[in-house]
Amino acid sequence: MPPKEPGKQERMNYAPLLRGLEEHVLDGRMNAEEFAVFAWLVLTVNPYTGIRYTNAPMIAAEMGKKVHAVQRAFRGLAAPKSDLPDGYIHYDGARGNGGGKYPVLVLKYPKAKSGRTGVRDYPEL
Q: What is residue 63's predicted lDDT score, i.e. its pLDDT?
A: 96
CATH number at residue 65: 1.10.10
Q: What is the mean pLDDT of the chain?
A: 80
Domain count, the chain: 1
Contacts of 121 (CB under 8 A, 6+ apart): none
In a domain, 5, yes or no: no
State mean pLDDT over 36-64: 93
Residue 123 has pLDDT above 50, yes or no: no
Residue 92 lies in a domain: yes
pLDDT exceeds cutoff 60 at 117: no
Examine residue 119 and state whether it is found in any structural domain, yes or no.
no
Q: Is pLDDT at 29 greater than 50 in this prediction? A: yes
Angle at 97 between CA 93 and CA 99, to 5 degrees: 110
- Helices marked H in 45-107: 56-63, 67-78
> How does pLDDT run across 52-110, given as a tens digit for each residue?
999 999 999 999 999 999 999 999 999 988 778 889 999 886 654 566 899 999 988 87
Report if residue 80 sits inside a domain: yes
Residue 49 located in a structural domain: yes
Range of the domain at 87: 21-106
Is residue 112 within 8 Å of 11, Cβ to Cβ?
A: no
